[in-house]
Amino acid sequence: MIDINYFRQNLDQLKSAIARKKFDCDLDALVELDQKRREAILEAETARAGQKSANAEMSQLPKGSPEFMEKVLEMKEIAGKVKELESVAKKADEEFQESFLSVPNLPHESVPDGKSEEDNQPISTWGDVEGDFPSALPHYDIPWFDQMIDFPRGVKVAGAGFPFYVGQMSQLVRALINFFLEEAGGNGYEEVHSPIVVNAESATATGQLPDKEGQMYVDQNEDIYLIPTAEVPVTNFFRDEIISPDELPLKRCAYTPCFRREAGSWGKDVRGLNRLHQFDKVELVKWVHPDDSFEELESLRRDAEGLLQKLELPYRVLLICSGDIGFPHSKQFDLEVWAAGQKRWLEVSSCSNFTDFQARRANIRYRGPDGKPKSVHTLNGSALAIPRVLAAILENNMQEDGRVKVPECLRKWFPFETVGP
């Protein structure tokens, strides 16, 4: 949520900033709702003040006197009017607040202009993308792939996009999770084990609602949502709380399964592990002082990059343009790993700074030097999403004998040099 005072005082700048994003937002209609709301609240407050004054006058009259009884009738009329005006003010406030939630965060000045993902800017590449991968195959074309990552039985049991990982592949997934969590701990992130469902308030606080409601799995009876990322429950850990400034920056990590209804397109973009409805991911979350948030974003990105380097997987970093950046994001980097079999880049992490946008919606604050509560800045990044990392390992590390070499950094949890039949 943006600062309401900024909205009221800098409408033209706000329009220009939002125009850089691809989100539709009728700010002029929102201004009218805000004015209607403020007028209704003022009218209700004025009526309450009149009610208080009339009550004081009545208290000075002799009980049972004609003047007192006349005042009683007047007070009933005033009370009914106050109740009516309070109802109007409440409805006007709810209409404004609901519409105000549709205003996206403002892109940082360092975010490049652009209309779509085609305009995202590569800023660095690590590893030899042009290297020799003579045995590389698309992971879904590996002869034994369906034996260890069973999509047909996943379809039978749950539906498309919910595969079984079997035997060594299940162990390899677990090894990746353990590796990611141990590295995060070494970088100062405290591990938490979070719920995998959240209520609407939590999803609204982080910006998934109302923006991505159609992409979330929801239990309508309980009004709870399966999480699309651990960002949602972990960020809400401090909802409606004031954090001591001495504790900042706070850093947490969490492993969770994630659930997304997004279907994507047909073809290679969704084959195999490229896009799933359920997938495993380790998430990094930070609550930081506003003065430090963009430095903390660079640090967050380095933490995620370090994992790919230790896995020896070539990757590139993209600075996401204004037309492709997410609804609650102020600045966003994506990490894309090179999949040699498919000969394409696969996104495995987004590292983002939300400035005070999520903190305002979640009411997460710290006390400034003057003792007054102020909104923290929140950041998060995937470190990393398992399926596409696994896809890159299977493709890039395929050997002549048809088995896949396991990265050295995973041997602590996976006691085999290769995986395969």
Q: Are residues 47 and 195 in the same domain?
A: no
96 part of a folded domain: yes
Q: Are residues 194 and 80 in the same domain?
A: no
Range of the domain at 66: 26-100
90-130 tens-digit pLDDT: 999 999 999 999 999 999 999 999 999 999 999 999 999 88
Compute the average pLDDT of residues 371-395.
97
16 part of a folded domain: no
Q: Which of 48, 73, 100 is the endpoint of a domain?
A: 100
Is the model's pLDDT at 264 over the cut of 60? no
Q: Are residues 96 and 121 in the same domain?
A: no
376 part of a folded domain: yes
Mean pLDDT of the chain: 93
Q: Are residues 75 and 215 in the same domain?
A: no
4 part of a folded domain: no
147-201 tens-digit pLDDT: 999 999 999 999 999 999 999 999 999 999 999 999 999 999 999 999 999 999 9
Q: Which span out of 52-61, 134-143, 262-271 was modeled with the highest average pLDDT?
A: 134-143
Q: Which of 100, 125, 142 is the endpoint of a domain?
A: 100
Q: Are residues 79 and 143 in the same domain?
A: no
Q: Are residues 200 and 66 in the same domain?
A: no
Compute the average pLDDT of residues 332-358.
97
Q: What is the pLDDT of residue 251?
A: 98
- Residue 324 sits in a domain of what CATH number? 3.30.930.10
287-307 tens-digit pLDDT: 999 999 999 999 999 999 999
| 3-state DSSP of the chain | CCCHHHHHHCHHHHHHHHHCCCCCCCHHHHHHHHHHHHHHHHHHHHHHHHHHHHHHHHHCCCCCCHHHHHHHHHHHHHHHHHHHHHHHHHHHHHHHHHHHCCCCCCCCCCCCCCCCHHHCEEEEEECCCCCCCCCCCCHHHCCCHHHHEEHHHHHHHCCCCCCEECCHHHHHHHHHHHHHHHHHHHCCCEECCCCCEEEHHHHHHHCCCCCCHHHCCEECCCCEEECCCCHHHHHHHHCCCEECHHHCCEEEEEEEEEECCCCCCCCHHHCCCCCCCEEEEEEEEEEECHHHHHHHHHHHHHHHHHHHHHCCCCEEEEECCCCCCCCCCCEEEEEEEEECCCCEEEEEEEEEECCCHHHHHHCCEEECCCCCEEECEEEEEEEEEHHHHHHHHHHHCECCCCCEECCHHHCCCCCCCEECC
Q: Are residues 92 and 121 in the same domain?
A: no
Q: Are residues 188 and 84 in the same domain?
A: no
Lowest mean pLDDT among 62-71, 110-119, 341-350, 367-376: 62-71
Q: Are residues 178 and 63 in the same domain?
A: no
17 part of a folded domain: no
Q: Are residues 80 and 228 in the same domain?
A: no
Q: What is the pLDDT of residue 89?
A: 92
Q: Are residues 174 and 88 in the same domain?
A: no
Q: Are residues 258 and 327 in the same domain?
A: yes
User: How many domains, in total, are found in the chain?
Assistant: 2
Q: Which of 51, 75, 100 is the endpoint of a domain?
A: 100
